[in-house]
């Protein structure tokens, strides 16, 4: 079996123009759950309200045993969005990035306000999300898809 090294050096090698319109940028974040637990204990509801939507707060607080892990996963998701969309230099509001659970329990992302406008400006047409938590860590991976040729920036 041979491997075409050009695919590592040229991300457009062998990709049709139609496929190139959906290029992906990835964001990944890993959060130490005890750090979130400490912030919750130290700052309480003020910490929650600063970073999370009312629905995210209600979901996390619905399970005291999983509260810190649920907040940590959502914190990781917000960081991963910022990385995937390239928003680190824009000072976006964390509350404008929301993890939403559907009726089947699957999580997706919703952007609002200035954060949504910046994502659209960068060509982001869709965000895909994967969350996990185990032991002391929570992680999120976000793929930012673009309909613009060449990706989202």
Alpha-carbon gap, residue 102 to 135, rounded angstroms: 25
Binding residues: 29, 79
Do 152 and 23 form a contact (C-beta atoms < 8 A)? yes
Q: Is 148 exposed, middle or buried (0-12, 13-18, 19+ CB in 10 A)?
A: middle
Nearest Cα to 99, choosing from 74, 124, 67? 74
Binding residues for Mg(2+): 29, 79
- Kindly list the distances between the CA atom of residue 108 and the CA atoms of 59, 97, 111, 128, in Å, as whole numbers in the listed order: 14, 11, 10, 7
């Amino acid at each position: 079996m041979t491997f075409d090294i050009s695919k590592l050096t040229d991300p457009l090698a062998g990709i049709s123009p139609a496929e190139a319109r959906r290029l992906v940028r990835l964001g990944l974040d890993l959060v130490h759950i005890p750090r979130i637990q400490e912030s919750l204990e130290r700052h309480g509801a003020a910490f929650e309200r600063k970073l999370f939507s009312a629905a995210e707060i209600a979901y996390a607080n619905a399970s005291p045993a999983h509260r810190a892990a649920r907040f940590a996963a959502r914190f990781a998701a917000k960081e991963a969005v910022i990385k995937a969309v390239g928003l680190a230099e824009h000072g976006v509001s964390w509350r404008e990035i929301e993890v939403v659970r559907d009726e089947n329990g699957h999580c997706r992302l919703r952007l609002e306000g200035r954060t949504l406008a910046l994502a659209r400006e960068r060509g982001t047409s869709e965000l895909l999300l994967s969350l996990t938590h185990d032991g002391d860590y929570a992680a999120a991976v976000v793929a930012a898809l673009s309909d613009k040729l060449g990706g989202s920036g």
